[in-house]
Amino acid sequence: MMRRGGLEGEEIRRAAGEFWPELSEQEREAEILREISRVHQKEWKKRLSESLLLKEMIDSKSEKAYRSTIGYLKQEGLFDGTEYALVDSGWVGSIQLTLSRLLRSAGYDKTPVGYYYGLYSLPSGAKSSDYRTWYFSPSDGLKNKASFNNCLYECMISSPEGSCTGYEYDARQKRFIPALDSGNHYNREQIMAEKKVMNLFLQEYCGRGTGREGPGEAVKKKCVRKLMKRLMIHPTMAEARYFGSFRFSDDVTDTEGGLLAKRLSETDFRKKRLISRLTGCLKKQDGPEGNASAWMEGSIVLYAKHPRRELRNEQIHRWLLNMGKQAAALYQRWEIRHEKNKSG
């Protein structure tokens, strides 16, 4: 959590001294590296937010990052009144929200429109008309969500240049430039190979350069769903081995990542079964959650003793999870419309 706030080695150790004054330096290092269970994450977020030392260090980092970020955005014309939009893969619209807040903080009150491959949810208070999706939205596309894995998708379409971690002024070029994290190149060769194959497929499928007209939008979406489900939900052993070997992390501070299809034990699979998950939720247990895999289906095909059973269980879990989220999104949309009608 502290690394995500931009803190580094010595700064993290200073904060650790405040949180665990009674521990030795070695014990504090162990606590820093210890994974926090989901049950304790809210508790730690509260503790971190109440730390004046931590706030002071993060504010110092943020002020420098803010100046360079606004400088880059102005340089690229986002304050000139030009029409522009944000394009992203998904999945909760947080980058668009952050960009909007940055622009407002610098005196520019125009809200950018975002175009997404898919969105599972919207930021609190966001206008749905500003968030436009293709494959699925918070309130639509249940079948597509249930046959989709966004972690595998991110591995396949990520930029081989790595993540942008901020902006810095280049005195030689006299302009702000993106600062890239060179450590996030761990899938570079695979991404470049995937890009060539995808381009060949898309050129053939869409009829580019062939003189024939490509398929319509509805046919494209149906084809995408069929291909996605085939690969993401029912991979062959060869597909699971190849795509499961991608490195993945949803933490921009992680420069190594872990295997997309992580090796899991039978105990881990048992803890991921529906009945175990439901029991844990009902009891609000804080016991061991078992190892998690970013691509469960890949891990199941590679390591489960009974892959068909585990795949069926995971598919049921996906449907129930996305049904619940979509129902909540539909109810929220109904509430907003109801309030508008009352005030109107």
Question: What is the rounded average pLDDT for all residues in the chain?
Answer: 83
- Taking residues 223-231, what's their average pLDDT? 86
Q: Which helix (H) or strand (E) covers residue 164, if one does? A: strand 164-170
Instruction: Report the percent of the chain where pLDDT is more than 90.
Output: 36
pLDDT, tens digit (0-9, with 9 covering 90-100), for 252-281: 666 667 899 999 999 999 888 877 776 655
Residues 6 or more apart whose CB falls under 8 angstroms from that of 261 comprise 240, 243, 244, 245, 293, 294, 295, 298, 299, 301, 302
Of 13 and 305, the structure prediction assigns the larger pLDDT to 305
CA dist 45 and 29 (Å) reads 19
Binned at pLDDT 50, 70 and 90, residue 191 comes out as: confident
pLDDT at 287: 44
pLDDT tens string 274-327 = 777 766 555 555 444 557 899 999 999 999 999 999 999 999 999 999 999 999
pLDDT value for 1? 62
pLDDT reading at 7 higher than 80? no
Domain segments of the chain: what residues?
A: 1-65
Task: Enumerate residues 6+ apart whose C-beta is below 8 A from 229.
Answer: 147, 148
Mean pLDDT of 184-196: 80
Mean pLDDT over residues 205-233, rounded? 76
Which one-letter amino acid corresponds to residue 215?
P
Instruction: Tell me the C-alpha distance between 261 and 307, whole Å.
Output: 14
Please tell me the least confidently modeled range out of 60-74, 176-190, 294-308: 176-190
Confidence of residue 180 (pLDDT cuts 50, 70, 90): confident
Give the total residue count for the chain: 344
55 pLDDT higher than 90: no
- Percent of the chain at pLDDT > 70 equals 86
Using CA atoms, how far apart are residues 148 and 89, in angstroms rounded to an integer? 13
Tell me the per-residue pLDDT of 80-111, one tens digit each, with 9 for 90 and over: 888 889 999 999 999 999 899 889 999 888 88
